Amino acid sequence: MIFLSGLRKTIVYKNFNSFDDSLNIFYANDEKDILKYRAGYYAGLKLVEQILISQRITLLELLKLSRKNFEERILQLL
């Protein structure tokens, strides 16, 4: 299982609540390159994997978490 490295975790943590358009990690605005700017989605996927494994919860249990609780758990991993 590949987890986020220390540097990547720092970047995600520092920008967790950012609305800065210059980051471009969640934008898919290049119709010629559908994979461009997908780093944020990959980081999110890896964080969800880490929550499921480290906290031994099911995907269904994860989906039932409140947004606040979900974000708290993510920030604890970072």
Q: Which residues contact 26 (CB under 8 A, 6 or more apart)?
A: 37, 40, 41
pLDDT in tens, 33-76: 666 667 777 888 888 999 999 999 999 999 999 999 998 998 88
Q: Looking at the predicted structure, is the pLDDT value of residue 3 above 80?
A: no
Q: State residue 18's pLDDT score.
A: 74
Q: State residue 69's pLDDT score.
A: 95
Q: Kindly write down the DSSP assignment for every residue of 18-50, as one continuous string.
A: ---GGG-SS----TT-TTTT-HHHHHHHHHHHH
Q: Looking at the predicted structure, is the pLDDT value of residue 4 above 90?
A: no
